């Protein structure tokens, strides 16, 4: 049973390579840069202090490979897919949300809202599964092949291709990222639609919008300066917060599409009990959230003058 | 004393009672902060001006119709059915006169005033009627104007001051942007400098620190300051009609007082017609030339302020006035009465006087016929079959001391 | 003192619940979508309870019946070992639901206790707890569960407990602010003056007045718990048993997801989970309408 990663490593060395206990210990302490004879608490603190300095140690599974290298190699793929999904879902969601707020009397408004509330409730990995079934497995309209060649779309890119292939590689990346990106986008789009609809509806009912109308302002002006600016405030904050979940939200989806990003790496590390990698990735995921929270606060302070004043300690009149 | 006043000139009546008090009373802390010494001097001179009371020409001899509302019906589509908020309203706005629309909340007065700008909410339906506006040479039916024409008319001809309690300014842009946006919507290409010069002038008339207000966000201003800023904004295009919707509700008494005084000053100095929607009879008594009493979506009485307050002809007007408590304790407690019952549900229209169930003077005719608005004296109309039975108000102090 | 308590007309005990139930019934029946959600959940619960007797699981594999399409014998076809899929669906929701309820109950209990004690005690204790909650909220819950499963062998019950503990911060903050607003009202003051015990204060005075809030959070917590469980099962990080998440995992691991004949094997549990979560969402919506009628209709006038 898993206990201490160093012990596991030492046991492994002894079992697999027939090393003696002292040899294995020497090798382990060289690997982890730990003084194994020091008290446990001291070992822990020295590990932590190196973590803080950005040195996350080395992988156990692939000795000699630094955890930070692994993370740096995987990070861009996750950032690319989840980030693109987030941006797409936000853009489309804000668009649809605005429409459904303005056209509350149109036939398509209940469809937009209803669909949004349903897909926002379904877990993201189920959406991925539904996508695979609909596009990758079922054959439609009497065709012999499904719509998407799902087998050749696993992973981040076709093996053997690299930046040397130029534009083809770029296309290959897009093709491979298509399903994960669509899944991330669909999983969040409903939330954006509902948020934007609520925010726009409540802004439209505000007196300053009515007064702007009474003042004879052009509709386009009212929309841009009076409605959207206020309606987008909660969207901006939510977007900043969501950025924090870019890394943490990708675990199951990357497993589903065998997309070699940070989430899949974390899962592999968990299966392999590769503790330094696990901890390193978890640290990155957590700090991403912390920074996004800080960013959200900062952003709100910039966008909404009301919060600026409250900070400087004035009374809070509405 | 009050009797004497009522017989001579009613315009300065409330002022005479109030202004000596006004000069003595301390300002609110809020206002002391914001006022510079120079402004204080100005404010006193403004009040002094008022006391001098140079009266306008008697409106009755020289009245110009500026706007006429004919048989207006507005209903809201609600879950329960059609809600008839305005149910056959006829009335007119005259040049340079002040009209107060009084009535309980929910009687349709706000809907009526929003309709004058065709600003009612989306679920409002204009069932019938017209609103004729004689702005320039040509007369227009506001309800028939297209979006572009309406846009031009709004604020440059008719402006609207919302209730003080509400968030009337966009919280994310500065006050000066509101002035600039407003003027540029009507006079394209005007430089910001010119606009702000005009704005500063108006804000100073409202006794505000103009530069501070202009560079503030709405949340940095107090309720009273916001209200005065909005009043300044409402005059920026020199409109012919200004509508005040509950101008002083939700403000403290001292701030109310200040805003009323400022309003009077600005009314003296400028030519425009004022419509005040209020349930505060004291305010209407103080500012208005004419009073329209509204009940259940109808105007039930319209006439000069002194007639309505001393000789109301509609039982509802009578009830409203009798329901105002006097400030002097003990003196008139027995005279204070409230109107029993509730206003009717505006969803069901009945073939009867809508006030009949609450009326002390109702006869059987009231329960099967809807009374129409009829002239009973020069400029005085009432929709009541038994108007002659309504007694006069003996003591006018009802409406004078109420705040 | 007791008099003021009575006069404040706070319904307690039987009356309170009777009124709430009547209210709930009225609104749930008036809200169509809420009604659908309610019946959906009811059906899922009934099937889950009856399944062991009515739709027993195939205990033996039958290599001749691998990946069969839906038929009369097998309503949803068969899996990679020739076992009936419908029986697995019917039996696979029970544990998920049970553990979701356990998670929700424990987390709400923690939330109520911390959320009421904290503002009642106030001072430094309150400040520190609030700060801790803020820090706690930045911990990514699902990745942490994944990492934890690398350190410990998680069972479903342990998972429920961990999930409940992990969710304390959000609930604590919400309930704390609710209690702070309740604290202003006089009946709490009266109860405090009567020197009633903390237990009485929390469970007799405060909790009944937060029922709306608690029931909303209950369905929300259940959703979170189902998501986390199914996710971990799908990733193969929890021990195998018969449930929808494990079905997904097996289907996926067996390549069923890329196998046209096996569509039902993966579609069925995916649909079942979606329906369960949707029923909770719709009930949640109906509850929101019940407790906050202002949201229901647009204001008119």
Q: Please tell me the predicted confidence (pLDDT) of residue B137.
A: 66
Contact C146 A251 (CB under 8 A): yes
List, for residues B91-101, the tens digit of each pLDDT value: 888 888 899 99
Contact B173 A225 (CB under 8 A): yes
At A233, give phi and psi (nearest 5°): -55, -55
Q: Please tell me the predicted confidence (pLDDT) of residue B42.
A: 41
- Poorest-confidence range of B113-117, B343-347, C233-237? B343-347
C91 close to C242: Cβ distance less than 8 angstroms: yes
Give chain C's mean pLDDT.
Answer: 78
Q: Which chains touch B (3 or more CB pairs under 8 A)?
A: A, C
What three-state secondary structure class fits B290? Answer: strand
- Nearest Cα of chain B lies from the Cα of A218 at a distance, in angstroms, of 7
- C-chain residue closest to B346, CA distance: C301
Q: Please tell me the predicted confidence (pLDDT) of residue C43.
A: 93
H/E run at residue C273: helix C263-291
Q: C297 CB near a chain A CB, below 8 Å?
A: no
Q: For residue B131, is pLDDT > 70?
A: yes
Task: Specify the higher pLDDT residue, C277 or C15.
Answer: C277
Task: Specify the higher pLDDT residue, A220 or B347.
Answer: A220
**Above pLDDT 70, what percent of chain B?**
78
CA distance C64 to C82: 7
Contacts of B401 (CB under 8 A, 6+ apart): B17, B282, B326, B327, B328
- Nearest Cα of chain C lies from the Cα of B282 at a distance, in angstroms, of 25
- A-chain residue closest to B221, CA distance: A317
**pLDDT, mean of residues C180-191:** 68
Q: Please tell me the predicted confidence (pLDDT) of residue A313.
A: 37
Q: Please tell me the predicted confidence (pLDDT) of residue A310.
A: 45
Q: For residue B293, is pLDDT > 80?
A: yes
- Nearest Cα of chain A lies from the Cα of B134 at a distance, in angstroms, of 19
Contact B106 C301 (CB under 8 A): yes
Contact B162 A229 (CB under 8 A): no
**pLDDT, mean of residues A34-46:** 64
**pLDDT, mean of residues C70-98:** 79
The dihedral sign for the CA sequence C97, C98, C102, C103: negative
Task: Specify the higher pLDDT residue, B178 or B255.
Answer: B178
- Poorest-confidence range of A6-20, A205-219, C263-277? A6-20
Contacts of B181 in chain A (CB under 8 A): 212, 215, 217, 221, 225
pLDDT band at B18 (very low <50, low <70, confident <90, very high): very low
Q: Please tell me the predicted confidence (pLDDT) of residue B65.
A: 83
The radius of gyration of chain C from alpha carbons, rounded to an integer in Å, stands at 23
Q: Please tell me the predicted confidence (pLDDT) of residue A55.
A: 67
Q: For residue C120, is pLDDT > 90?
A: no
- Nearest Cα of chain B lies from the Cα of A318 at a distance, in angstroms, of 5
Task: Give, rounded to a whole angstrom, the gap between the first and last alpha carbons of chain C.
Answer: 43
B74, B75, B77, B79: best to mutate for the C interface, most C CBs within 10 A: B79
Q: C297 CB near a chain B CB, below 8 Å?
A: yes
**pLDDT, mean of residues A21-45:** 66
pLDDT band at B327 (very low <50, low <70, confident <90, very high): low
**pLDDT, mean of residues B45-66:** 49
- B-chain residue closest to C296, CA distance: B79
Which range of B166-170, C31-35, C42-46, C141-145 scores highest in mean pLDDT? It is: C42-46
**CB burial of residue B148 (10 Å; 0-12, 13-18, 19+):** exposed
- Poorest-confidence range of A39-48, A158-167, A183-192, B390-399? B390-399
Q: A151 CB near a chain C CB, below 8 Å?
A: yes
CA distance B362 to B387: 10
Percentages of chain C per state (helix, strand, coil), in multiples of 5? 75, 0, 20
Q: A280 CB near a chain C CB, below 8 Å?
A: no
Q: C277 CB near a chain A CB, below 8 Å?
A: yes
Contact A214 B217 (CB under 8 A): no
Cβ-nearest to B171 among A210, A217, A230: A230
Contact C301 B83 (CB under 8 A): yes
Q: Please tell me the predicted confidence (pLDDT) of residue C24.
A: 67
**pLDDT, mean of residues A268-279:** 84
The dihedral sign for the CA sequence C149, C154, C156, C162: negative
Contact C300 B83 (CB under 8 A): yes
CA distance B39 to B21: 19
CA distance A50 to C208: 51
Cβ-nearest to A123 among C149, C230, C259: C230
Q: Please tell me the predicted confidence (pLDDT) of residue C9.
A: 46
- Poorest-confidence range of A198-202, A285-289, C264-268? C264-268
B135 close to B153: Cβ distance less than 8 angstroms: yes
C146 close to C232: Cβ distance less than 8 angstroms: yes
Q: Please tell me the predicted confidence (pLDDT) of residue C188.
A: 62
Q: What is the longest distance spanned by two Cα atoms in chain A?
A: 88
**Residue located via tokens 């979006």:** B147
List, for residues C9-66, the tens digit of each pLDDT value: 455 566 767 777 776 676 666 677 888 888 899 999 999 888 888 777 776 776 777 7
* CA contacts within 13 A on the Cβ side of C203: 8
Q: For residue A186, is pLDDT > 90?
A: yes
Q: Please tell me the predicted confidence (pLDDT) of residue A159.
A: 72
Strand runs labelled E in B140-289: 140-141, 158-161, 241-245, 273-278
List, for residues B260-274, the tens digit of each pLDDT value: 888 888 888 888 899
Contacts of A225 in chain B (CB under 8 A): 170, 173, 177, 181
CA distance A4 to A276: 11
B186, B219, B239: best to mutate for the A interface, most A CBs within 10 A: B219
Q: Please tell me the predicted confidence (pLDDT) of residue C277.
A: 92
Q: Which chains touch C (3 or more CB pairs under 8 A)?
A: A, B
Cβ-nearest to A214 among B154, B173, B222: B154
Q: Please tell me the predicted confidence (pLDDT) of residue B199.
A: 92
Contacts of B170 in chain A (CB under 8 A): 208, 212, 225-226, 229-230
Q: A39 CB near a chain C CB, below 8 Å?
A: no
Contact C301 B123 (CB under 8 A): no
C140, C149, C271: best to mutate for the A interface, most A CBs within 10 A: C140
pLDDT band at A8 (very low <50, low <70, confident <90, very high): low
Q: How many CB atoms lie within 10 A of CB A224?
A: 11
CA distance B35 to B219: 19
Q: Please tell me the predicted confidence (pLDDT) of residue B22.
A: 40
Task: Specify the higher pLDDT residue, C88 or A10.
Answer: C88
What three-state secondary structure class fits B161? Answer: strand
**pLDDT, mean of residues A151-159:** 74
Q: For residue B229, is pLDDT > 80?
A: yes
**pLDDT, mean of residues A113-139:** 86
- Poorest-confidence range of A118-122, A278-282, C153-157, C185-189? C185-189
pTM of the full structure? 0.77
**Tokens encoding C264:** 């039902």
Q: C72 CB near a chain B CB, below 8 Å?
A: no
- DSSP letter at B154 equals B
pLDDT band at C242 (very low <50, low <70, confident <90, very high): confident
**pLDDT, mean of residues A192-206:** 91
Q: Please tell me the predicted confidence (pLDDT) of residue A192.
A: 94
- Nearest Cα of chain C lies from the Cα of B251 at a distance, in angstroms, of 23
**pLDDT, mean of residues C283-301:** 59
CA distance B250 to B227: 10
Which range of B18-22, B44-48, C134-138 scores highest in mean pLDDT? It is: C134-138
- B-chain residue closest to A207, CA distance: B168
β-bridge mates for residue B93, sequence order: B67
Contact B167 A218 (CB under 8 A): no
- DSSP letter at B128 equals E
Q: Please tell me the predicted confidence (pLDDT) of residue A96.
A: 94
């Amino acid at each position: 049973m898993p206990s201490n990663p160093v012990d596991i490593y030492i046991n492994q060395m002894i079992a697999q390579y027939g090393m003696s206990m002292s040899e294995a210990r020497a090798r382990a302490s060289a690997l982890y840069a730990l003084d194994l004879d020091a008290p446990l608490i001291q070992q822990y603190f020295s590990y932590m202090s190196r973590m803080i300095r950005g040195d996350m140690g080395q992988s156990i599974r692939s000795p000699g490979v630094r955890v930070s290298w692994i993370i740096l190699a995987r990070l861009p793929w996750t950032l690319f897919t989840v980030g693109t999904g987030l941006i797409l879902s936000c853009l489309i969601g804000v668009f649809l949300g605005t429409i459904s707020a303005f056209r509350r009397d149109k036939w398509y408004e209940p469809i937009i809202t209803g669909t949004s509330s349903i897909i926002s409730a379904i877990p993201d990995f189920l959406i991925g599964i539904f996508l695979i079934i609909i596009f990758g497995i079922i054959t439609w309209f009497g065709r012999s092949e499904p719509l998407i060649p799902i087998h050749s779309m696993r992973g981040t890119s076709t093996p053997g291709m690299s930046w040397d292939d130029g534009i083809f590689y770029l296309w290959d990346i897009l093709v491979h990222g298509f399903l994960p990106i669509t899944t991330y986008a669909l999983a969040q789009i409903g939330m954006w639609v509902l948020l934007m609809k609520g925010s726009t509806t409540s802004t439209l009912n505000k007196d300053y919008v009515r007064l702007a109308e009474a003042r004879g302002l052009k509709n386009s002006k009212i929309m841009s300066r009076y409605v959207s600016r206020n309606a987008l405030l909660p969207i901006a904050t939510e977007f900043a917060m969501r950025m924090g979940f870019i890394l943490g939200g990708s675990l199951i989806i990357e497993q589903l599409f065998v997309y070699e990003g940070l989430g899949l790496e974390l899962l592999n590390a968990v299966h392999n009990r590769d503790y330094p990698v696990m901890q390193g990735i978890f640290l990155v995921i957590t700090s991403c959230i912390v920074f996004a929270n800080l960013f959200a606060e900062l952003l709100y302070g910039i966008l909404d003058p009301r919060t600026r004043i409250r900070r400087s300690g004035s009374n809070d009149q509405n | 004393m009050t009797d004497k006043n009522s017989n001579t000139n009613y315009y300065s009546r409330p002022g005479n009672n109030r202004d000596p008090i006004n000069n003595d009373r301390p300002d609110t802390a809020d206002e002391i902060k914001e006022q510079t010494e120079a402004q204080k001097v100005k404010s006193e001179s403004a009040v002094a001006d008022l006391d001098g009371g140079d009266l306008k020409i008697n409106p009755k001899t020289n009245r110009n119709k500026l706007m006429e509302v004919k048989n207006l019906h507005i209903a809201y589509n609600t879950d329960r059915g059609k809600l008839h908020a305005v149910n056959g309203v006829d009335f007119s706005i005259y040049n340079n006169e002040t009209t107060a629309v009084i009535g309980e909340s929910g009687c349709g007065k706000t809907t009526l005033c929003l309709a004058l700008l065709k600003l009612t909410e989306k679920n409002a339906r204009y069932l019938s009627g017209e609103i004729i506006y004689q702005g320039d040479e040509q007369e227009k039916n506001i309800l028939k104007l297209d979006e572009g024409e309406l846009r031009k008319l709004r604020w440059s001809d008719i402006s609207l001051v919302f209730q003080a309690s509400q968030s009337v300014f966009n919280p994310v842009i500065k006050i000066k942007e509101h002035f600039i946006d407003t003027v540029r919507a009507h006079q394209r290409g005007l430089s910001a400098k010119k606009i702000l010069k005009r704005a500063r002038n108006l804000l100073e008339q409202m006794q505000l620190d103009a530069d501070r207000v202009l560079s503030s966000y709405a949340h940095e201003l107090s309720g009273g300051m916001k209200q005065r800023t909005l009043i300044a904004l409402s005059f920026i295009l020199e409109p012919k009609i200004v509508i005040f919707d509950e101008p002083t509700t939700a403000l403290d008494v001292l701030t109310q007082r200040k805003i009323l005084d400022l309003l009077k000053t600005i009314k003296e100095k400028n030519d425009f017609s004022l419509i005040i929607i209020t349930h505060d009879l004291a305010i209407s008594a103080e500012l208005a030339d004419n009073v329209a009493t509204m009940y259940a979506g109808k105007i039930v009485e319209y006439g000069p302020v002194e007639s309505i307050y001393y000789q109301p002809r509609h039982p509802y007007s009578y009830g409203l006035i009798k329901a105002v408590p006097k400030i002097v304790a003990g003196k008139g407690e027995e005279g204070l009465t409230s109107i029993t019952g509730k206003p009717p549900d505006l969803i069901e229209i009945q073939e009867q006087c809508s006030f009949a169930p609450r009326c002390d003077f109702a006869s059987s005719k009231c329960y099967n016929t809807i009374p129409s608005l009829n002239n009973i004296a020069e400029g005085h109309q009432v929709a009541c079959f038994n108007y002659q039975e309504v007694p006069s108000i003996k003591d006018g102090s009802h409406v004078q001391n109420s705040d | 003192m007791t008099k003021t308590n009575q006069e404040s007309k706070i319904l307690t005990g039987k009356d309170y619940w009777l009124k709430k139930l009547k209210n709930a019934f009225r609104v749930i029946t008036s809200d169509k979508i809420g009604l659908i959600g309610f019946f959906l959940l009811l059906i899922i619960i009934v099937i889950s309870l009856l399944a062991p007797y009515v739709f027993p699981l195939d205990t033996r594999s039958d290599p001749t019946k691998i990946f069969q399409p839906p038929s009369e014998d097998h309503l949803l076809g068969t899996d990679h070992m020739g076992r009936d899929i419908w029986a697995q669906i019917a039996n696979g929701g029970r544990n998920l639901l049970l553990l979701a309820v356990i998670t929700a109950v424990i987390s709400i209990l923690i939330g109520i206790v911390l959320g009421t004690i904290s503002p009642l005690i106030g001072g430094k204790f309150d400040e520190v707890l609030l700060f801790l909650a803020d820090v706690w909220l930045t911990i990514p819950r699902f990745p942490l569960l994944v990492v934890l499963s690398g350190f410990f062998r998680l069972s479903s019950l342990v998972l429920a407990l961990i999930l409940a503990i992990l969710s304390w911060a959000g609930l604590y903050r919400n309930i704390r602010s609710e209690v702070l607003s309740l604290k202003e009202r006089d009946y709490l003051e009266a109860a405090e003056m009567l020197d009633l015990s903390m237990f009485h204060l929390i469970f007799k005075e405060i909790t009944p007045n937060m029922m709306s809030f608690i029931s909303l959070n209950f369905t929300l917590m259940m959703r979170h718990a189902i998501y986390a469980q199914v996710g971990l099962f799908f990733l193969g990080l929890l021990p195998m048993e018969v449930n929808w998440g494990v079905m997904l995992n097996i289907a996926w691991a067996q390549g069923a997801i890329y196998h046209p004949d096996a569509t039902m094997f993966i579609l069925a549990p995916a649909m079942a989970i979606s329906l369960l979560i949707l029923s909770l969402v719709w009930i949640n919506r109906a509850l929101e309408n019940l407790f906050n009628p202002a949201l229901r209709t647009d204001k008119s006038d």
